[in-house]
Amino acid sequence: MEDARKLLESLPVELQSQVLRSVSLKTLTTLQVGGPAALVCPIRNPEQALRFQDLALNHDFPVFILGGGSNVLADDRGFGGLILQVATENLEQTGDTVRAGAGMSFDGLIERTLDMGLTGLEFASGIPGTLGGALVGNAGCYGHEIGEFLVEALLLRPDGRLEKAGPEDFGFRYRETDLRETGTVVLEAVLRLRQGNVEQAAVLRREKIRDRQAKHPVDLPSAGSWFRNLPAAEPQGRRRAAGALLEKAGAKDMHEGDARVFAKHANMIVNTGNATSSDVLKLAARMKKAVLEKFGVDLVEEVRYLRP
């Protein structure tokens, strides 16, 4: 693997100036943990994505795709490869569909679609991160998921192919898709919404945001739920909250350094100051062990760990 400086020099000058060097991952992730990222390439259009990805491929450089960083734990040693930071932010409406850049803030998209007279996404109001991150992780809450709305997406495959894909290519399931671990970049998406009752949707949106403000860590850095909820006990039943098991296993009293389990939600880890990635990993391991010992349940991480 060549070093970051050499890699950068092999780029045409106009692209070199767009690449950011040695950026703290604390500033790119909502948990605010992590060391320096060697190279960060903001992607504003498919051509740029192709050029950067081609560069990584030709120089055998590891790549990590980043959206809003709201579901990622970065390591204190940083990341020596190339971060493709998806920042495509186009938005066009055609009837009851929108074509949106995957780098758009997901919550911003919800607000803008309501302004366009389109409803449907308001259930997800307040979920941090980008549309791309939401699609790749099939983000959801209150019984709905983003995957229900996808018509088509523009993807950049790791071998450099730009490709249109439908919901079947994503394979949407609970907080997971077939794309997540493949190195495929989601560049934009077409979503089908409804020309519904916007006032009612706006009321629901405000309620969801209030609910989140009451239950989630709004003033402390976090990465959302650490572990996935458990499958339902009966075929049509609701998933069982991992937080309930964690609470009964005593997780709310746990901390490691400045990483602490959030007092109002036992499935969330907050950074109360200068938490390190090893603090967070140790704490998550203790939480997991406590649930395994008390209930015999092996929790599965939802947050993605960006290894050095």
Ligand X SMILES: Cc1cc2nc3c(=O)[nH]c(=O)nc-3n(C[C@H](O)[C@H](O)[C@H](O)COP(=O)(O)OP(=O)(O)OC[C@H]3O[C@@H](n4cnc5c(N)ncnc54)[C@H](O)[C@@H]3O)c2cc1C
Catalytic residues: 175, 225, 302
H/E stretch holding 112 reads: helix 106-115
Restricted to residues 210-239, the positions that interact with ligand X (CB under 6 A) are: 216, 222-224
How far CA 171 is from CA of 50, 100, 123, in Å, comes to 24, 20, 21
Contact between 30 and ligand X by CB under 6 A: the answer reads yes
Contact between 291 and ligand X by CB under 6 A: the answer reads no
Task: Considering the complex, state which of residue 180 and residue 248 has its C-beta at the smaller distance from ligand X.
Answer: 180
Round to whole Å and give the CA distance between 105 and 7. Answer: 30
Contact at 8 Å (CB) between 145 and 127? no
Stretch that binds ligand X, among 64-72, 108-116, 236-244, 247-255 (CB under 6 A): 64-72
Restricted to residues 89-118, the positions that interact with ligand X (CB under 6 A) are: 102
Round to whole Å and give the CA distance between 300 and 228. Answer: 6
- Give the residue, chosen from 34, 68, 78, 147, that forms a contact with ligand X under the rule CB under 6 A: 68
Contact between 63 and ligand X by CB under 6 A: the answer reads no
Round to whole Å and give the CA distance between 177 and 218. Answer: 28
Contact between 128 and ligand X by CB under 6 A: the answer reads yes
Q: What interhelical angle do 198-215 and 106-115 show, nearest 10? A: 160
Q: Please return the burial class of 6, using the count of CB atoms within 10 Å of its CB with bins 0-12, 13-18 and 19+.
A: exposed
- Give the residue, chosen from 35, 81, 101, 133, that forms a contact with ligand X under the rule CB under 6 A: 133
Restricted to residues 240-269, the positions that interact with ligand X (CB under 6 A) are: none
Contact at 8 Å (CB) between 237 and 251? no
- Give the residue, chosen from 67, 78, 81, 243, that forms a contact with ligand X under the rule CB under 6 A: 67
The contact set with ligand X (CB under 6 A) reads 30, 65-72, 86, 102, 127-130, 132-134, 136-137, 139-141, 175, 180, 185-186, 216, 222-224, 304
